[in-house]
Structures are given as structure tokens and as C-alpha cells.
Amino acid sequence: MLDFIADYEAKNGVGTCNTFAGHAYDALTMLKMAIEKAGSTNKAKVRSQLEKIKDFAGTGRIFNMTADDHCGLSEGCMVNVKIQSGQWVLLT
């Protein structure tokens, strides 16, 4: 996440404004990785490499892609929290 923030601020001269920029950054970073590993922009080769991405530390979560899971997010990778008395509290 810190790399994304630094890259974004260096390019745009301002801080990030929302989570969607981070989602796009994650997607494009994984796409770049897949194209480099595939050595091509061939759709089937790139898809195959995307499906092999494991433990990719995105801006807000870890992605593990498979042929059956193109989202790459497990149920436990996100949690619900609330702010209580100025502190983050995990909702169970």
C-alpha cells in the first residue's frame, strides 16, 4: 500500500482520494506481472499466468488467484470493523 501511495502522489502531486484507485493499481500490477511471465500479450498465456498469482500483496488485501477463482480473495481476507471510543474494533 505504501508503494502505491508514493507512486500515486509522485505522479499526481496529491494524495489518493478513494479506494478505487488502489483496486485499479492492484489489477494493473497483476496484469503487468502476468504479461511479463507470459512473455506475450496472448490472451490465453496471460490468463494462465494470472491464474498462477499467489500471495500478491495488494493495496488492501492478499490475492491468490486460481483457474476457478478469478477474484483471488478468500473469505478471511477482509473483516468488518467499527470505530468505538476512537479505536478500531473487530466486528465478530
CATH number for position 7: 3.40.50.2300
What letter does residue 52 receive in the DSSP assignment? Answer: T
Tell me which of 57 and 52 has the higher pLDDT.
52
What letter does residue 1 receive in the DSSP assignment? Answer: -
- Full domain range(s) for residue 24: 2-90
Please enumerate in sequence order all residues whose Cβ is within 8 A of that of 31, keeping only pairs 6 or more positions apart, or say none. 46, 50
Point out which residues pair with 88 in neighbouring strands.
Answer: 83
Tell me which of 60 and 27 has the higher pLDDT.
27
Tell me which of 10 and 31 has the higher pLDDT.
31
Contact (Cβ atoms closer than 8 angstroms) between residue 59 and residue 22: yes
Taking only the tens place, the pLDDT of each residue in 14-46 is 776 677 888 898 999 999 999 999 999 999 999
Asked if the model's pLDDT at residue 63 lies above 80, the reply is: yes
Task: Quote the number of domains for the chain.
Answer: 1
